[in-house]
Structure 1
């Protein structure tokens, strides 16, 4: 199967959803999202059998720009996460009243299209186009369908848009400079450039600003918690589960191989910032009373560790970063969905107003418990595999980095279990709490099964991504 078919499916899905009408928009979006997931699975099977699905055709002659897509194991792993989570995210809002439903779900599908293109693009200009396109739908999703008053969320969403867009402009300047040196935006042409130490330093920083904001890495995180809180839950899941992975993926795909000497020189500073983010996110999470903000700061701590693993420049660190990207995507989407279920039943996001849910909804409490265990990296869950590789990669650089980075396990266990105790155990809230329905059960069930299955048997994903990472490390060295 040609890799362009997947992108066309998502783009046509967005258009079909828009023109389908309000009543059938969710069904049309879900149908195309499921088809995209099946196509991704087929592409992975073809890749494993040796089929090369890469695609390249000239787009613009001057400057030299190609529509070039690279479907290696690394890209396909992130596309798989995207196309797996998108139908689950759509299904999570099933039956919920949403104004202008066709526009809403069309934006979700278009965002999935843009993020897939970001993961697959192997021409720097095309990659930048997809990178920026992904920002447009989430801006309108958060602005038009978000929480709180329109004025309150307008201020938050505008800050998010300007902050991330401005950061991306630095990356664009970096690509323009690289094009002047190489005469091409193509990935391997940029890999093979012989840049001076000074040139690498500035290229590294231009990319780092864009990626540090998108992920986010401390201290570029100031937009995150408020945006996660103000966005509708679908928007929050898209942001935390998939969109931030664009930054983490791009570190590995673009930044490190092009500016490896600068990455090696700046590694101590970057790792310190990442680890500060781990500790800072964990401590601030402890003080949160709103469950969406609680999960937002928890996410900040986890992605800080993922970024640290990527910047170790080791195969083990990169492998751990990619595995944890996928694990984090699954878990954080599941956690934000549980927050939405809690809000739907109680009409509050305050942790203090919850309690005793396990007695009324044992299925929900059990699924929630598994997600909490996965979040803290309990052995037997997929997060444990990723965190072990990350910490091992950090230990190869310096044991102290691994020790301080490992505080996320201790602190995470403390704040996540304390939150679970306050919400699920103790005295029962005066309001009744219905257990999960069929649709909620499907969403949580798929996530829980993936988290446990990949925690026990991560070999398929490990074998999928390792050859690509070994190749990238060869350019770093």
Structure 2
């Protein structure tokens, strides 16, 4: 078995979902999502057994472009995150009234296909195609099924599309220039490109612009909160849980090994920008009245720390970045789902209009509390493992980077506990808040189990990604 089977499953799933009709669309999408998850587990087992599940064949002779897919531990770890979260996200929307649901779920499946392709691609041109393809479904999901009126959200979503698309064009120019130097888009050929320090500098910046917008890194974050707020919750979970990881992953997979000298030279500036995002996101989160915007700025702070760790160029920093990518994916999807449950009960996303939920819904409050503790990196949760490695990696470069980065834990504890008190404790709202349904319990239970299990026993993921990261570090040093 190779990874083309997984990609075909997701693509066929998108087509089958669209053709299935409105009523069965959600179930068809869930079925193919679960099949893709099982296939990913099989690919990981195959990888651990020493069998290469990658694939390569020439696609176009001139220019020299290949359909090349790399199934190493790093790619499979992010593929696992994608195929694990996609069924959860689909299942979370069961029971919702969605117009043209077959189109809606087909777009979700196609986005999963494109994001998975981005993580697996080992040819720069193929990688760019998958990167851009992932933008189209989220654009339509947010535009057609988003919150507020069409007139209000269209400007927000259009800004998001143009912003990210324009940044990606600079990355394409970087790949085209690299092709003129190597005659190939293949990953290993680009790793061995002979570039001058000036050439590395400009290629680094071309890639950085695309990745900084996608993640986002301060000050390229201006699209994020509004887009997260206006997108439907399924779209927001896809954006925050998986799509932003494309930028973080690409820093490690593409940018750093291709431009190591430039990365070392520009490293202090980039780390400082990322750490500014940590502090800025935390402070702005404190002022948010809307729970979706609150989680959006919380996410900005956390991904700022991940980006800072990745740019340390150390094995510990890279390992912490990947571990935290996966942990953040499970946590942020859970938090946005919590926000959606509250909205369905109260018909509001304003934190000030909540209160006393714990008295009426103790199971819900307990699940929320687990996600909250995971968000602030409490020991015993997966986030703690990632944050520890990130801060350790930062300390190897400059102890002050680790100190400033560590403020995300302090700030996070403050704003998350403060929000939890307002929403869960205090006076009981006059509106009855029903406790978790069986489906809601299952979704939050799966997320909680994953967060706690990997927090106690992260070895399977750490062992999966470490050999790939060791190889990448060898190109950086």
Q: Same fold (TM over 0.5)?
A: yes
> What is the rounded CA distance, in whole Å, between the counterparts of 1:339 and 1:263 in structure 2?
38
CA distance in 1, matches of 2:4, 2:271: 37
Counterpart in the other structure of 1:332 = 332
Question: Which residues in structure 2 correspond to 1:164-313 (within 5 Å)?
Answer: 164-313=164-313
Q: Distance in 2 between matches of 1:209 and 1:463?
A: 31
Partner Cα separation in structure 1 for residue 244 and residue 442 of structure 2:
25
Structural mapping, 1:142-157, within 5 Å = 142-157=142-157
SS at match of 1:59: strand
Partner residue of 1:315? 315
CA RMSD after TM alignment: 0.3
Q: CA deviation at 1:241?
A: 0.2
TM-superposition CA deviations, 1:252-276 (whole Å, max 9, x none): 0000000010000000100100000
CA contact (8 A) 2:181 2:194 kept: no
Deviation at 1:442, TM superposition (A): 1.2
Gaps of 5+ in 1: none
User: What's the CA shift for 1:352?
Assistant: 0.5
Residue 124, structure 1, aligned to residue 124, structure 2:
yes
Provide Cα deviations, 1:62-100, integer angstroms capped at 9, x if missing partner: 000000000000000000000000000000000110000
- Report the Cα distance in structure 2 between the residues aligned to 1:414 and 1:271, rounded to whole angstroms: 24
**Distance in 1 between the 2:441 and 2:4 partners?**
33
- Tell me by how many angstroms 1:326 deviates: 0.2
1:135 is aligned to 135
Cα distance in 1 for residues equivalent to 2:247 and 2:3 = 22
Q: Where has structure 1 moved over 3 Å in runs of 4 or more? A: none
- How far residue 194 of structure 1 moved from its aligned partner, in angstroms, is 1.4
2: CA distance, partners of 1:46 / 1:70: 14
2:54 alignment counterpart: 54
Does the alignment pair 1:430 with 2:427? Answer: no
**Partners in 1 of 2:9 and 2:171 — Cα distance?**
29
Give me the TM-score of the superposition, normalised by structure 1.
1.00
Q: Partners in 2 of 1:22 and 1:54 — Cα distance?
A: 36
Q: Which residue of 2 aligns with 1:76?
A: 76
Give the TM-score normalised by the residue count of structure 2. Answer: 1.00
Number of residue-to-residue matches in the alignment: 477
Q: Tell me whether 1:458 sits opposite 2:458 in the alignment.
A: yes
Question: 1:409 & 1:362 partners in 2: Cα distance?
Answer: 26
Residue 6 of structure 2 corresponds to residue 6 of structure 1: yes
Residues 36-57 of structure 1 deviation map (CA, whole Å, 9 limit, x = unaligned) = 0000000000000101011000
